[in-house]
Chain A
Amino acid sequence: MHELSIVEALIEQVQREVQRCGRAPTEGGHRPKVGPGRIRRLDLAVGRLSGVSCDSLRFAFELLSRDTLVAAAELHITEPKATCRCQACRACSEVDEITVRCPACGSLQVTVEGGRELLLQSIEIEE
């Protein structure tokens, strides 16, 4: 998909969150790569139906994080699944892709919930 723009947006989002909490980056927008103040970990949720490839996201993060406040951060990604509820057979199945068919009975009367999130869940800073 557009993982480069998503990582750009992610870095801006981290910047805003860190500033909001009064942990603004030091002079020049950089944070130390080691020791206190270092952003050590980012937790993301990338739903399976979000259309975003986690491998591409990691690769884009490697490229774009250099010389930014998240340069030393580890990226932790969870991939929430989606649920397909069937009105015909009442089955509740986990699905990995946008589907229009119940995996259990093949009925087209389904609703798919969840799996679309693209979230920055938390930021961990070394004390």
Chain B
Amino acid sequence: MKIVAAAKILKANDQLAAETRAKLDAVGVFGVNLVGSPGAGKTTLLEALLAHWKGERWHAHACRGHATSMAPPRPAVIEGDIAGSIDAERIEKHGVPVVQINTQGACHLDASMVAAALADLDLGACDLLFIENVGNLVCTAGFDLGERLRILVLSTSEGDDKAAKYPAIFQSSQALFVTKTDLLPQTNFDLQRITADFRRLVPQGAIFPMAAIRGEGIPAAANWLAEKCRR
């Protein structure tokens, strides 16, 4: 007997992700999946954004807070790591609700981990949910978490050839945040090359260069995200 299935192998993940998306939409929460290599600066980016919206002092720079008259988004964070809670502790210092997922060795988050973590968050108290994925440019591309926006975080020290070498993750992202631009003089990273490569894969993609640790480029990215979240 032959059973004709013709089913996606990751169907269960895709279905759960669709449910998560519907659940977040229903309560007006905009989900963002942050992907990138280990050390690309995903958590630092989050810290800089949170400090910006809260008008906190961030490193040597006093953030002027949200530039528009509209209220800043109310963020919450899900942190995905193989082990430990270092990132969640960093986020917690900014007074933002955070849930840490430990994947126990798995190289990416999947929709079931995110769905379980949602139970620990008060979704009524936030409207922008960041899901920081496990640092990985390969596996994270294949797993929909139920987000509305996928942002790829790439640091200048990783090299400008990454879109050519890891096209799947670039192609699945709608925005590219190029971090650590303060290191540009020390690297041979070509911002024009990565911009051109990303645009070829994602013609409508947004690109934001930044030095999050100094707060440079953060207001533009923060306003763009706030705008996306409001829509």
A binds B: yes
- Residues of A whose CB lies within 8 Å of any CB of B are 1-2, 5-6, 9-10, 12-14, 17-18, 21, 23, 44, 49-52, 97-98, 100, 108, 117-127
CA distance A125 to B6 in the complex (A): 16
Query: Could you tell me the distance in whole angstroms from the C-beta of A96 to the nearest C-beta in chain B?
Result: 12
Query: Could you tell me the distance in whole angstroms from the C-beta of B91 to the nearest C-beta in chain A?
Result: 26
Total number of B residues with any Cβ neighbor in A under 8 Å: 28
| Contact B10–A100 (Cβ < 8 Å) | no
Beyond A12-B12, A13-B7, A17-B5, 16 additional pairs, beta carbon < 8 A: A1-B138, A2-B106, A5-B139, A9-B10, A9-B12, A13-B11, A98-B171, A100-B167, A119-B6, A119-B7, A119-B8, A120-B5, A120-B9, A124-B2, A124-B3, A125-B3
CA distance A120 to B3 in the complex (A): 10
B168 within 8 A of A: yes
CB contacts (< 8 Å) of A125 on chain B: these are 1-3
Main secondary structure of the interface of A (DSSP, over half): mixed
Contacting residue for B2 out of A12, A98, A117, A122, CB 8 A: A122
- Residues of B whose CB lies within 8 Å of any CB of A are 1-13, 106-108, 110, 138-139, 141-143, 167-168, 171, 197, 200-201
| Contact B12–A98 (Cβ < 8 Å) | no
CA distance A5 to B108 in the complex (A): 10
CB contacts (< 8 Å) of B10 on chain A: these are 6, 9, 118
Which among A1, A117, A118, A122 has the greatest number of chain B C-beta atoms within 10 A?
Answer: A1
Query: Could you tell me the distance in whole angstroms from the C-beta of A65 to the nearest C-beta in chain B?
Result: 14
CB contacts (< 8 Å) of A23 on chain B: these are 1, 3
Query: Could you tell me the distance in whole angstroms from the C-beta of B199 to the nearest C-beta in chain A?
Result: 9
Contacting residue for B8 out of A5, A14, A118, A127, CB 8 A: A118
CA distance A97 to B139 in the complex (A): 16
CB contacts (< 8 Å) of B200 on chain A: these are 100, 108
| Contact B9–A6 (Cβ < 8 Å) | yes
CA distance A26 to B201 in the complex (A): 48
CB contacts (< 8 Å) of B110 on chain A: these are 5
CB contacts (< 8 Å) of B168 on chain A: these are 49, 51, 98
CB contacts (< 8 Å) of A21 on chain B: these are 3
CA distance A127 to B1 in the complex (A): 6
Shortest Cβ distance from B13 into A: residue: A9
| Contact A121–B6 (Cβ < 8 Å) | yes
Which among A51, A117, A126 has the greatest number of chain B C-beta atoms within 10 A?
Answer: A51
Query: Could you tell me the distance in whole angstroms from the C-beta of B203 to the nearest C-beta in chain A?
Result: 11
Query: Could you tell me the distance in whole angstroms from the C-beta of B33 to the nearest C-beta in chain A?
Result: 16
Query: Could you tell me the distance in whole angstroms from the C-beta of B17 to the nearest C-beta in chain A?
Result: 13
CB contacts (< 8 Å) of A117 on chain B: these are 8
CA distance A56 to B95 in the complex (A): 43
Query: Could you tell me the distance in whole angstroms from the C-beta of B111 to the nearest C-beta in chain A?
Result: 11
Contacting residue for B5 out of A1, A13, A100, A126, CB 8 A: A13
